[in-house]
């Protein structure tokens, strides 16, 4: 892949990602619940990663050719700029992606190491009978699916995690809370695990590493985090009457964690971020007033998911023809040579469009420019 091809791919996939996120957010406002909206964000992250793979492996239709109308002098200048910009962008992007992945891996290792320092809790001593029925910890449950309750003195706010096993980790000071408050916290964390939020967070981190430069991706991360917490808050309360006690539990944890220094690299924490907590409190207050979802137009999760995936197929065809060196005789972006060679090995022909040769195109462009320069110089000599 040349630097101009890389530049075109980055621009095109960035535009595709922005459209997919806008569509996912719009569809999320139409679904019936926050749990369904969370699933929609998970599909959105899968779609974004798929668009990157498709952009790397398959050609895209060129719906228009903007560079065929410009003169060769302007084209040469643009090519020079694109070559430099493409090289610089590749270095900056690859550096940012590697750093993002390293931070992600280091935090995952830190969480795993932290879990090894926690103490195991007996669910029968701390959890109510109602919540124990929701925890798959019986002997008939496969070991990998059993949720383990842990506690630690180093932790300021509850969180859940899932690598090989699902975990719910409680700060030690929470063990002194009354049974109802513990029930709220356990229900909240159980909802994270039951609805696959650790997997969604993993996909979100991968998307953030690839699109670390994209502001819409970070905005989508904030929106999906908000949806996750909204969904778990709704699952933690059985009735509007419990909202006041739930908010007091949330406030107690915030006050305690604010007075302590928490350096634990937790994921899916019960309370983190003043802005996020304030939005959760406002939403719970609206639910208590029965104003939460009154203006929502209900669309089933299947319909919303189907619409997002179908639109993504068309959005994947949106290709911004930035590369000036792309052949004006081809209606497709170049098929990457590594996948084309693989298909040839399996007997599939991919010569359905003109092969791309950036060096040849640049050579032809420079050759075409030389006669124009010579003509201009001869005309100036005649005038002189």
Residue 71 belongs to a domain = yes
Rounded Cα distance, 86 and 133, in Å: 57
Whole-number pLDDT of residue 212: 94
Determine the structural domain holding residue 129 and report its residue range. Answer: 3-137+144-344
Residue 384 belongs to a domain = no
Whole-number pLDDT of residue 287: 80
Rounded Cα distance, 79 and 325, in Å: 7
| Beta strands, E only, the chain | 119-120, 148-152, 159-162, 166-171
pTM above 0.85, yes or no: no
Whole-number pLDDT of residue 101: 93
Whole-number pLDDT of residue 22: 95
Residue 50 belongs to a domain = yes
Nearest to 41 by CA among 233, 201, 191: 201
Residue 68 belongs to a domain = yes
Residue 363 belongs to a domain = no
Rounded Cα distance, 362 and 3, in Å: 13
Which phi and psi angles does 319 have, rounded to 5°? -130, 120
In this structure, the number of other CB atoms found within 10 A of the CB of residue 217 comes to 21
The C-alpha R_g of the chain, in whole angstroms, comes to: 27
Residue 251 belongs to a domain = yes
What are the pLDDT digits (tens) for 168-201?
888 888 888 888 888 888 889 888 988 889 999 9
**CA 43 to chain CA mean position, Å:** 10
Which phi and psi angles does 160 have, rounded to 5°? -125, 160
- Name the domain count of the chain: 1
Residue 354 belongs to a domain = no
Whole-number pLDDT of residue 223: 92
C-beta separation of 237 from 184 below 8 A: yes
Residue 360 belongs to a domain = no
pLDDT string in tens for the chain (384-residue length): 778 888 888 999 999 999 999 999 999 888 878 888 999 999 999 999 999 998 888 888 877 777 777 777 777 788 888 888 888 989 999 999 999 999 999 988 888 888 888 888 877 666 666 666 655 544 455 545 678 888 888 888 888 888 778 888 888 888 888 888 888 888 898 889 888 899 999 999 999 999 999 999 999 999 999 999 989 988 888 877 788 888 888 888 887 776 666 666 666 666 666 777 788 888 888 887 765 555 566 788 888 999 999 998 888 888 888 887 776 666 777 666 666 666 667 666 665 444 445 544 555 555 555 555 555 555 655 555
Rounded Cα distance, 191 and 187, in Å: 6
Rounded Cα distance, 244 and 231, in Å: 17
């Amino acid at each position: 892949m040349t630097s101009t091809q890389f530049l075109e791919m980055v621009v095109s996939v960035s535009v595709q990602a922005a459209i997919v996120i806008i569509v996912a957010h719009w569809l999320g406002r139409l679904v019936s619940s926050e749990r369904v909206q969370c699933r929609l964000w998970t599909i959105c992250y899968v779609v974004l990663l798929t668009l990157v793979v498709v952009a790397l492996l398959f050609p895209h239709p060129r719906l228009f050719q903007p560079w065929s109308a410009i003169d060769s002098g302007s084209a040469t200048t643009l090519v020079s700029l694109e070559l430099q910009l493409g090289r610089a962008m590749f270095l900056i992007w690859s550096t940012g992606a590697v750093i993002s992945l390293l931070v992600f891996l280091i935090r995952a290792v830190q969480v795993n190491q932290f879990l090894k320092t926690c103490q195991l809790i007996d669910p029968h001593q701390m959890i109510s009978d109602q919540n124990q029925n929701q925890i798959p910890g019986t002997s008939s449950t496969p070991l990998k699916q059993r949720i383990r309750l842990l506690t630690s003195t180093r932790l300021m706010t509850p969180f859940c995690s899932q690598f090989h096993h699902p975990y719910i980790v409680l700060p030690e000071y929470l063990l002194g809370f009354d049974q109802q408050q513990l029930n709220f916290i356990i229900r909240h964390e159980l909802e994270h695990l039951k609805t696959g939020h650790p997997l969604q967070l993993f996909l979100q981190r991968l998307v953030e590493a690839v699109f670390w430069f994209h502001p819409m991706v970070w905005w989508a991360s904030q929106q999906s985090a908000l949806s996750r917490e909204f969904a778990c808050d709704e699952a933690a309360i059985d009735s509007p009457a419990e909202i006041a006690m739930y908010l007091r539990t949330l406030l107690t944890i915030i006050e305690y964690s604010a007075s302590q220094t928490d350096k634990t690299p937790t994921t899916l924490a019960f309370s983190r971020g003043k802005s996020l907590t304030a939005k959760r409190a406002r939403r719970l207050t609206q639910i208590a007033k029965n104003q939460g979802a009154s203006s929502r137009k209900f669309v089933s999760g299947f319909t919303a998911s189907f619409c997002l995936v179908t639109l993504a197929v068309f959005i994947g065809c949106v290709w911004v023809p930035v590369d000036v060196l792309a052949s004006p005789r081809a209606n497709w972006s170049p098929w990457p040579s590594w996948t084309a060679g693989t298909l040839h090995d399996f007997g599939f022909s991919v010569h359905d469009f003109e092969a791309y040769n950036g060096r040849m195109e640049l050579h032809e462009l420079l050759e075409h420019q030389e006669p124009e320069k010579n003509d201009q110089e001869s005309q100036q000599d005649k005038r002189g």
